[in-house]
Amino acid sequence: MKKLINNPENVVEEMLDGLTLAYPEYLRKLDGFHVLVRKSSPISGKVALVSGGGSGHEPAHGGYVGKGMLDGAVAGDVFTSPTPDPIYEAVKAVDGGAGVLLIVKNYTGDVMNFEMAKDMAEMEGINIDYVIVNDDVAVENSTFTAGRRGIAGTVFVHKIAGAKAELGANLMEVKETAQKVIENVRSMGMALTSCIVPAAGKPNFTLEENEMEIGMGIHGEPGTHKENIQTANEVAEQLVNKILEDMCLNKGVEVAVMINGLASTPLMELYIVNKRVNEILTEKGIKIYRTFVGEFMTSLEMAGCSVSILKLDDELKDLLDESADTPAFKV
Amino acid sequence: MKKLINNPENVVEEMLDGLTLAYPEYLRKLDGFHVLVRKSSPISGKVALVSGGGSGHEPAHGGYVGKGMLDGAVAGDVFTSPTPDPIYEAVKAVDGGAGVLLIVKNYTGDVMNFEMAKDMAEMEGINIDYVIVNDDVAVENSTFTAGRRGIAGTVFVHKIAGAKAELGANLMEVKETAQKVIENVRSMGMALTSCIVPAAGKPNFTLEENEMEIGMGIHGEPGTHKENIQTANEVAEQLVNKILEDMCLNKGVEVAVMINGLASTPLMELYIVNKRVNEILTEKGIKIYRTFVGEFMTSLEMAGCSVSILKLDDELKDLLDESADTPAFKV
């Protein structure tokens, strides 16, 4: 296990400390909890956004805490949902009186724990609601999921719902916008290599030296199939075609594209994938309004990538263009 | 070789195309050359900055082309200096009459080729000068270098000299600022795994399963020593202590810190390294003004990291805080 860590049991705590020490102008950590909130939280009168989930997907979600995106992020153990208590603590720390929206990726543990935290907050009289992101078109139901998994498309929800909240919308309006993003975003990923959960110390699945898996989840959940490694172009085509089968994109429609690296795949390769994704969409008459290439929702040290496509309208375009200032995402 | 590429011979061309297609609002590619320039180049009356070098270090340098940083970036083949011709083409494309500063990492090939391009430009009457970045304290002289190597500290030169140029300084002033950054920045790296140059198809050096190399260069050039993998804290201590031996940092001095991932090392681990780097500097009474954690100067898919420390004064702090808007670096 070649990792730059100290004690496998402390990776989440130390990671959150290191992130907070790097960006104290944005973040503070709640004492005794694996929760990061904006330094300025709570912000009076603004709807607050809280997301989170298992760790190992950095910069998600702590890196997205800041102006124009999240107010709080809750980190579970590696690939493990946070329990309701820290989520509830995050909600209390960020609520500025206008209510809180929880943005939850669709994994059974996350959904259950965020719902319980919502119930706890409601009992304290906090105005709170939630949305569930399920952008991964690869498979219906999966190892940790009923329905589709939530992956990198979640970052578009953070960005766009975050902008809506920053502009002063109320909780129902922010939720509606988040829901609109969820209805319009689709993603699909693939993996070239496995990853090692620090506490386990061994790979959590295996791929042969010449093998890749299409549709792989961000915790190594099975995808649609394994096959011999193909070219970047063929990978891009498989991912985009599967996404487009699930979306109604007429000629002339505008989209945002995210090419997301799972960690070990270098930017060079992500740019090469983007070239083909761009060509495919352009050939179909789909207009690319904005592209984001980088590491947005990772899987420890897994090699591979995902492609996300978000169908835009004027509201979503405007909100996507609004400024965002967080450690890991700036517009 | 588990890579998302098509033909190994075309990785640079396709990478540049994919980058330009992702960020057309920032970049355009010069026809027939592996050169990216700002979409708005040349900018009349502004000193233009050009950098570049071998590919495989993305987002360096094309990702740093934009307002407040570079005007042009020249990409050689993987780990291979660009020839003088494309550098000269970049210079001609970005010169807005106020002259051009070349920012060169200290590798023998880069220095020779950028100097030749400078001579070509001077013969055409272009006001041009250059600086050489040699921030890597690991070793004197190396596989491809007379003197010290230039690594991630180069990004601070792009940022700060870029801000100076954007504010309207003349060529001599921009060069002086760049030189001041170079004199005040020190870096050191380490690797956990090797990397594969696509055209070679096999690792360009080897590390055993339990081995790491301290002081490793960004092309796999030898460092100071190999040893069994240590904890993140011990790695941070080795890197920082070696850097501090080479700098005069009195109590109360302010610094900027960059924790740079070489590619396969996830952000989680970089944050953990940052925690210890921050503690060491704080214990010594050194004030951390700003920290940057991410992938700024990579080495294909190598695992490992580097630490850079930049000693600041009021001018450097102000210039570091100036806005920058590029695909890979925003302030």
Please, are residues A150 and A109 in contact by the beta-carbon 8 Å criterion?
Answer: no
Domain chopping of chain B, boundaries: 12-184, 185-321
pLDDT at A10: 96
For A12-184, which CATH class? alpha beta
| CB within 8 Å: A15 and B293 | no
Q: Distance, in angstroms, between B193 CA and closest chain A CA?
A: 8
pLDDT at A146: 83
| CB within 8 Å: A192 and B17 | no
Using a CB–CB cutoff of 8 Å, tell me whether B229 touches chain A: yes
Q: Distance, in angstroms, between A66 CA and closest chain B CA?
A: 14
Using a CB–CB cutoff of 8 Å, tell me whether A178 touches chain B: no
Assess whether pLDDT exceeds 90 at residue B319: yes
Residue-wise pLDDT for B304-313, tens only, equals 999 999 999 9
Residues of B whose CB is below 8 A from A293: 18-19, 22, 327
| CB within 8 Å: A22 and B59 | no
pLDDT at A144: 80
Chain A residue with minimum CA distance to B4: A232
Residue-wise pLDDT for B248-306, tens only, equals 899 999 999 999 999 999 999 999 999 999 999 999 999 999 999 999 999 999 999 99
Residue-wise pLDDT for B61-112, tens only, equals 999 999 999 999 999 999 999 999 999 999 999 999 999 999 999 999 999 9
Among partner residues A6, A272, A288, which is closest to B232 by beta-carbon distance?
A6
Using a CB–CB cutoff of 8 Å, tell me whether A272 touches chain B: yes
Quote the CA–CA distance of B103 and B77 in Å, as a whole number.
18
| CB within 8 Å: B291 and A193 | no
Using a CB–CB cutoff of 8 Å, tell me whether A330 touches chain B: yes
Please, are residues B195 and B299 in contact by the beta-carbon 8 Å criterion?
Answer: yes
pLDDT at B42: 98
Instruction: Give the C-alpha distances (Å, rounded to integers) separating A60 from A31, A129, A151, A299, A300.
Output: 20, 21, 10, 10, 11
| CB within 8 Å: B209 and A265 | no
Q: Distance, in angstroms, between A90 CA and closest chain B CA?
A: 21
Q: What is this model's ipTM?
A: 0.97
Residue-wise pLDDT for B135-186, tens only, equals 999 988 877 888 999 999 999 999 999 999 999 999 999 999 999 999 999 9
| CB within 8 Å: B193 and A23 | no
A158 classed as catalytic? no
B32 sits in the region (left: phi over 0; alpha: psi -120 to 50; else beta) called: left
DSSP output for B61-109: TGGGBSBTSBSEEEEEEETSPPPHHHHHHHHHHH--SS-EEEEEES-HH
| CB within 8 Å: B268 and A300 | yes
Residue-wise pLDDT for B28-63, tens only, equals 999 999 999 999 999 999 999 999 999 999 999 999
Among partner residues B16, B291, B303, which is closest to A22 by beta-carbon distance?
B291
Among partner residues B6, B268, B269, which is closest to A272 by beta-carbon distance?
B6
Q: Which residues of A80-102 are buried (b: 16+ CB within 10 A; e: fewer)?
A: bbbbbbbbbbbbbbbbbebbbbb
| CB within 8 Å: A21 and B268 | no
| CB within 8 Å: B271 and A55 | no
B225 classed as catalytic? no
DSSP output for A211-231: EEEET--TT----SEEEE---
Using a CB–CB cutoff of 8 Å, tell me whether B203 touches chain A: no
Q: Give this prediction's pTM.
A: 0.97
Residue B129: CB atoms within 10 Å: 16
The CATH architecture of the domain made up of B185-321 is 2-Layer Sandwich (3.30)
pLDDT at A198: 94
Per-residue pLDDT tens digits of chain A, which is 331 residues long: 899 999 999 999 999 999 999 999 999 999 999 999 999 999 999 999 999 999 999 999 999 999 999 999 999 999 999 999 999 999 999 999 999 999 999 999 999 999 999 999 999 999 999 999 999 999 888 778 789 999 999 999 999 999 999 999 999 999 999 999 999 999 999 999 999 999 999 998 899 999 999 999 999 888 999 999 999 999 999 999 999 999 989 999 999 999 999 999 999 999 999 999 999 999 999 999 999 999 999 999 999 999 999 999 999 999 999 999 999 999 9
Residues of A whose CB is below 8 A from B327: 293
* Banded model confidence at residue B226, pLDDT cuts 50, 70, 90: very high
Using a CB–CB cutoff of 8 Å, tell me whether A230 touches chain B: no
Using a CB–CB cutoff of 8 Å, tell me whether A292 touches chain B: yes
